[in-house]
Amino acid sequence: MTNYMKLELAAISENEGFARSAVAAFALTLNPSLTELSDIKTAVSEAVTNCVVHAYKGGENACVIIECRAEKTEAGGILHIAIADRGCGIEDVDKALTPFFTTLSDEERSGMGFTIMQTFMHEFSVESAKGKGTTVRMCKKIGMPETEKERLNA
Amino acid sequence: MKICAQKKGNILYIRLVGELDEHNAALARKEADRLADENAQIERAVFDLSEVSFMDSTGIGFLIGRYKKFHRYGVPVSVTNPSVATDRILCMSGIYTLMSKI
Ligand SMILES: Nc1ncnc2c1ncn2[C@@H]1O[C@H](COP(=O)(O)OP(=O)(O)OP(=O)(O)O)[C@@H](O)[C@H]1O
Ligand SMILES: [Mg+2]
User: So what's the pLDDT on residue A106?
Assistant: 81
Mean pLDDT of chain A: 92
User: So what's the pLDDT on residue A105?
Assistant: 82
A59: CA distance to ligand 2 center in Å? 20
| Average of per-residue pLDDT across B81-85 | 96
Choosing from A42, A44, A46, A50 the residue with most ligand 1 atoms within 8 A of its CB, the one to mutate for a pocket test is A50
Q: Which among B72, B69, B67, B75 is positioned nearest to B96, based on CA atoms? A: B67
Q: Does B11 touch chain A (CB under 8 A)?
A: no
- Structurally, chain B folds into a number of domains equal to 1
Please determine, for residue A148, whether its predicted confidence score (pLDDT) is greater than 60.
Answer: no
Query: What DSSP letter does each residue of A51-105 carry, written as one string?
Result: IIIII--S-S--EEEEEEEEEE-SSSEEEEEEEEE-SS--S-HHHHHSTT--S-G
Cβ atoms of A76 and A70 closer than 8 Å:
no
Pocket of ligand 1 (CB under 6 A): A 46, 50-51, 54-55, 85, 87-88, 90, 96, 101-104, 109-114, 134; B 57-58, 60-61
Q: How far apart are CA A50 and CA B79, in angstroms?
A: 26
Q: Which among B90, B92, B72, B99 is positioned nearest to B14, based on CA atoms? A: B99
Tell me which residues of chain B, numbers 17 to 46, contact chain A at a CB-CB cutoff of 8 Å. Answer: 19, 21-23, 25, 29
A119: CA distance to ligand 2 center in Å? 14
Choosing from A64, A91, A92, A102 the residue with most ligand 1 atoms within 8 A of its CB, the one to mutate for a pocket test is A102
Q: How far apart are CA B14 and CA B82, in angstroms?
A: 13
Residue B83's domain is classified under what CATH number?
A: 3.30.750.24
Written out in words, the top-level CATH class of the domain with range A2-153 is alpha beta
User: So what's the pLDDT on residue A150?
Assistant: 55
Please determine, for residue A121, whether its predicted confidence score (pLDDT) is greater than 70.
Answer: yes
* Residue-wise pLDDT tens digits, B48-63: 999 999 999 999 999 9
Q: Whole domain around residue B12: which residue ranges?
A: 2-101
Tell me how close the Cα of B9 comes to any Cα of chain A, in angstroms: 31
Rounded to two decimals, the pTM is: 0.94
Hey, how many other C-beta atoms are within 10 angstroms of the C-beta on B50?
12
Q: How do the domains of chain A map onto residue ranges?
A: 2-153
Q: How far apart are CA A88 and CA A132, in angstroms?
A: 6
- What is the predicted ipTM? 0.92
User: So what's the pLDDT on residue A153?
Assistant: 56
Neighbouring C-alpha atoms within 13 Å toward the C-beta of A22: 20
User: So what's the pLDDT on residue A86?
Assistant: 96
